[in-house]
Structure 1
Amino acid sequence: MKLTIVLIAASLALPLPVIAQPYPVKAVRFIMPHVAGGPHDTVARGMAQAFSQTFGQPFVVESRPGGDGIVGLSACASAAPDGYSLCLGYGSPFTLNPLLYAKLPYDTMRDFAPIMHLGFLYSAVIAHPTVPSASLRELIEHSKSRPKTITWGTFGPGSITNLYVEWMNRTLNAGFYSVAYKSAIPAATAVMGGEIQIAVLTVGVAAQQVKAGKIKALAVIGGDKRSGFMPNLPTMRESGVDLTLTNWWGLFGRAGTPPDVLQRLHAETKKLIDDAKFVETFFARQGFEFGDPVGGSPEQFAAFLRADGETNARTLKITGVRLDQ
């Protein structure tokens, strides 16, 4: 009897096994390296609202713009790998910045765990109605005859828009003059006001402005297929510009996040991508379009990232663009 009591007491003194708590047990951050407002922000807030209901904990969008996306990705990379700080990021900071900057406070291949590709945001080359070109091909030829007189609004030296301009100037002997703006909206506004002649604007918004007669569209940027918003508008490749730099959107976790958390996040994100009503409200209306590998596996997203980086590297080799931090 005494032995039994001793054994029971000893067993009670042993440490109890740790039972993992279901994820999440507190608020989760969606860190977005982009300004609030606009299509990226709308998608982020739509996902945050849906996830808050699904997971039973608040998902909060935290906008961290600045430094070509470096500020936001630095915040993501320095977060704990526990699934409570997720990153909703776009193409340039992940696959272009590592090629542009000699030093970065993050390593895109080491510090992040791809969860899912969320879509492509195609853009249109837009022009002021008075520009005497009906197509991008005609515009390029026109710029050759009048070098540095056709102004093209870009988003700074390291932006995809500026890389297009530099690539056309060097490869096709075009004569465009780049004028830097903070984002697409100020550049497009400058085109509509006659301050500059050319810029880039998301296809969904551009279609509305074309219909209103404020601008004309010359080509689709960002893919090998035409946009569903403007199906009669030729792609860049169809216009004689054999270059594709994509503007995409994706969900990432911190590298080292528990696999079961990443799997749960992937599964719930897949449900949103497969929800036609959600896609129409938060993706399609903002100008996002789907194609491979949208909605695919983390492995497919990782393969896409590698291929996107290789495309950017070839482009930069031609343009010679390089930035120092």
Structure 2
Amino acid sequence: MRLLVLGGTKNLGRHVVEAALRDDHEVTLFNRGLTNPSLFPDVRRITGDRADPGALAAGEWDGVIDMSGFLVRDVSLSAAVLRDRCGHYTYMSSIAVYASKTAVGMTESAPLLDWPAGAPEDHFTMDLYGPSKVRNESLLTATFGPRTAAVRSGFVIGPHNPDFGNWGWALAHGEPLECAARPDQPIQYIDARDLANFLLHLTADRVPGPFNAVGPTQTLATLAETWRSLVPNPPPINWSPTVDRFHLPHNGSNDGTFHLNNTHALANHLHLRPAHETAHDYLTWIQAGNTPPEPPH
């Protein structure tokens, strides 16, 4: 497959490119060339900006995986250029698209957030994150019809990714795990490698529709004990740290976001590895001398 990856040199995008190269796909990267410019030296690279995607007008691809689609303006421009130049367009969306934050068991057909009247399509703020993802999904469906898929995930754990990086760092250095969320806070996450494989599968096989790409629900206390079991005599968990890296309300007003139904994704070949394997591999990566990236907020 001739694959175009928008982004592809940081966090989850690295895993997508690695998975594509592993499966012998012909990869082209399109990005600004500012992040890890020496990564994947043998991969074709087009340097450009999402706000001016004209550099893509001369190419054709079997599939596109969009890892950098945040601004509505940028996704709209890319979609217009690629509409007749790609077979399938897979968009990296988010679990932040859902209107309810408390409903349990939401499927992909649950109500989504509205776009705020008068909101700018060329400027990003955190309060527009969820609505922007919804709007981008909608415009891609309008452009590509059944030739597009939207993958909704939340926490993504793995080497080169910031989520739970403080836990891996703490365990590697004999420090307490810090968790400002309550112990019974429900959580769903996905291993970056599993998510990358799923994105690639949907694109290569041209599978349409939105997907909740998340793992099973568990509590943060349960997950923390899984991570602590990896080292002998682990320090205790600090449930009241100075820095809050989870930003989750203690009153349960966001709990439904982590009780999503992932049946549709599992039925379409989302494969999830055990929690202890993800934790082990992340810890091993840090012990090898790597530093987790800082979270985006």
Which protein is richer in helix relative to its size?
1
> Structure 2-normalised TM-score?
0.32
Q: Which has the higher contact order (CA 8 A, sep 6+)?
A: 1
Larger radius of gyration: 1
